[in-house]
Amino acid sequence: MTNFTIEIMETLINKGDLDELFRKHLEAAVNSLLQAELTAFLDYEKYDRSGFNSGNSRNGNYPRSFKTEYGELNLIVPRDRNGEFSQQTLPAYRRTDDSLETTIIQLFQKGITMSEIADLIEKMYGHHYTPQTISNMSKIISEDVSAFKNRQLESRYSVIFMDATHIPLKRQTVSKEAVYIVIGIRLDGTKEVLGFTIAPTESAFVWKEILQDLKDRGLEEVLLVVTDGLKGITDSIRSVYPNAQFQQCCVHVARNSAHKVRVSDRKEICGDFKHAYQADSKEEAIKQINKMTEKWKKQYPRVVKLLLNPAILTFFKCSPIH
């Protein structure tokens, strides 16, 4: 049994502060790591006099505090005489560990106010943070998101997929809003999230703004655009990428068809449609669509209308590799 284990047992028996025990040992361990880093950098032990001729040596230290979930660590960071040593144990310019920042950001994402988070952190970790400090931490994520949304894109993509999902969002009240997402397929077949935005509802006008933003960031040419059958969406696509082909998402078509038929017929009608869009050629796909039309036109004319949309087979115009 190690000394540390014995100390833990004694602390538990005496109903002592276990967090303080962990804090003390963590503080000692980090200070030891800092000293070990400098020793490795200088390549001689602290009291090895032969190391004095190496051209560099120890040159005191400076204090630094670092907040963790166990409490604040009082650290002694060593220095070298030539100012060449850069420790790697602690993140530069940081005063808290990642777990604490992660907790703060997660609370912020849940819609809890800055003042409430500051009170919670003080109760949980024993650290007092002002609302401004909490706000600064949340900006770390905001800056990363902004950089991601404004980055330069490649000039050509084989395919881009456009769709929106609705999630609860807190403003003054909580209400579902549309998150618009664009995913691109590069010429080598790999995927990339190109952009996203949030709006109260899904509309072709917002999609047009998103596509224009992609073009402004460098995306000049798209072979195929895949999206749902939102009214006006094809006009929005053509206004920005007039040479792109439009493909209506087959998953959306299948879902819309399923909503227009009896529950007992859903599996069969979706299976028939799958044979169409998974056919080896456009000719085979058209034959399957014609079979479906004859089979279901009396029972479900609204489904047949969906199937007769030529945009559901546009992807057959592309080469097989795409």
Q: What is the pLDDT of residue 181?
A: 93
Residue 322 resides in a domain? no
Rounded Cα–Cα distance for residues 29 and 101 (Å): 22
Q: What is the pLDDT of residue 103?
A: 60
Q: What is the pLDDT of residue 284?
A: 94
194 shares its domain with 303: yes
Q: What is the pLDDT of residue 137?
A: 56
Q: What is the pLDDT of residue 73?
A: 81
58 shares its domain with 137: no
- Domain of 7 in residue numbering reads as 1-95
Select from 54, 70, 95 the last residue of a domain: 95
76 shares its domain with 104: no
Select from 95, 120, 139 the last residue of a domain: 95
Q: What is the pLDDT of residue 221?
A: 93
Q: What is the pLDDT of residue 5?
A: 60
Low-confidence ranges of the chain (pLDDT < 70): 1-9, 12, 18, 47-54, 69-70, 88-141
- Long-range CB pairs of 56-59 (<8 Å, 24+ gap) are 56/80, 56/81, 56/82, 56/84, 57/81
289 shares its domain with 176: yes
pTM of the full predicted structure? Answer: 0.57
